[in-house]
Amino acid sequence: MSESATTAAATSTVRVIDQKEALRSEIDRARQAGRVIGFVPTMGALHEGHVSLVQAACRECDFVVVSIYVNPTQFGPNEDFNKYPRTLEADLAALANCQVDVVFAPTSREMYPDGFGTYVEPAGAALSLEGERRPGHFRGVATIVLKLFEQVRPDVAYFGRKDYQQSLVVRQMVRDLDLPVKIVVCPTVRESDGLALSSRNRYLSTDERRQATVLYRSLQLAGELVDAGERDAGVIVEQMRKLWGEQLLVAEDYIAVVDPDTLAPMERIEHPAVVAVAARLGTTRLIDNDVIGSWLPARGESKT
């Protein structure tokens, strides 16, 4: 890959680097110039959700690095690593109107050279939900994020709320390993019908795409039930499930009402909760989440 690329649609040139050494010297130069370094890690197939993170980084930092790397260690053996979309040219076009300084698009040989054998094993928030369904997933995520943090040494790194559990795992790693980086979590960007943007949405057939809106509709229903006074998480899950039951192409992986900090299951909703959902539509797996009862007192606060 060339170190500098301009796409046909691009209005600005993005510097594309695929070697750690070249990245390091570029970043050293920026740091010596006193720039605040912002970082957005992605797996590419960029959409408006990714772009919103990049825009936040560009607003708040003076040197922005976006990584594009489909990380093999966070995919299970039966997951979609091989078919995961790799669309570098389109990704560069998607970033053309952002003031990105460097796109880091390393090869797997660069990230996991022969003999690689050290991994980060997150516990706590990493163990339930996605961690339970996708063994090793957060180990792969934490390992690659730590490596990228070491390579980029960002002052601020941006993640999406869409992957809520991932953001908790990253925050925990930053705390546990004393990493000198601030984590910013940005809101989920959605289609006009509520479906959260995801690189995996492109796998959906027309019928699956139509039925996929039930994820968001059920999250909204959960919020409305809490707003109307329902406090029993079991009742809320049951109502959500009923809605899902009407969509024959949507198979539940989980619907969970959990504590926003620990992801421990909640039975009574007396403080804000996160509803996290995962579904299969054919061979595609989608996740989403939302906060419900955000107006309730935070855990540990009195109601008055």
Does 140 bind ligand AMP (CB under 6 A)? Our answer is no
Does 74 bind ligand AMP (CB under 6 A)? Our answer is no
Q: How far is the CB of 229 from ligand AMP (least distance, A)?
A: 30
Residue with tokens 């009923």: 242
* CA 204 to chain centroid: 19
Angle at Cα 43 formed by Cα 37 and Cα 46, nearest 5°? Answer: 85
Does 196 bind ligand AMP (CB under 6 A)? Our answer is yes
Identified binder of ligand AMP from the candidate list 14, 16, 30, 53, rule CB under 6 A: 53
Q: How many residues does the chain have?
A: 304
Angle at Cα 228 formed by Cα 261 and Cα 292, nearest 5°? Answer: 20
Angle at Cα 13 formed by Cα 111 and Cα 64, nearest 5°? Answer: 55
Identified binder of ligand AMP from the candidate list 43, 51, 120, 233, rule CB under 6 A: 43
Helix (H, G, I), strand (E, B) or coil at 123: coil
Q: Which helix (H) or strand (E) holds 66?
A: strand 63-68
Size of the site for ligand AMP (CB under 6 A): 17
Q: How far is the CB of 292 from ligand AMP (least distance, A)?
A: 19
Please give the residue whose beta carbon sits closest to ligand AMP in the complex.
160
Q: Which stretch binds ligand AMP (CB under 6 A): 157-165, 172-180, 204-212, 269-277?
A: 157-165
Q: How far is the CB of 263 from ligand AMP (least distance, A)?
A: 16
Q: Would residue 50 show up in a list of annotated catalytic residues for this protein?
A: yes
Angle at Cα 162 formed by Cα 161 and Cα 164, nearest 5°? Answer: 60
The CA distance from 89 to 8, in Å, is 9
Question: In the complex with ligand AMP, which residue's Cβ is closer, 188 or 211?
Answer: 188
Q: Which stretch binds ligand AMP (CB under 6 A): 81-89, 116-124, 189-197, 239-247?
A: 189-197
Evaluate whether 53 touches 158 at the Cβ level (below 8 Å): yes
Does 203 bind ligand AMP (CB under 6 A)? Our answer is no
Q: How far is the CB of 160 from ligand AMP (least distance, A)?
A: 2
Question: Taking each helix axis from N to C terminus, what angle separates 164-176 and 137-152, rounded to the nearest 10 degrees?
Answer: 60
Q: Enumerate residues 280-299 that contact ligand AMP by CB under 6 A.
A: none
Residue with tokens 């809520």: 164
Question: In the complex with ligand AMP, which residue's Cβ is closer, 233 or 279?
Answer: 279
Residues forming contacts to ligand AMP in the complex (CB under 6 A) are 42-43, 49-50, 52-53, 159-160, 162-163, 186, 188-189, 196-199
Active site residues: 50
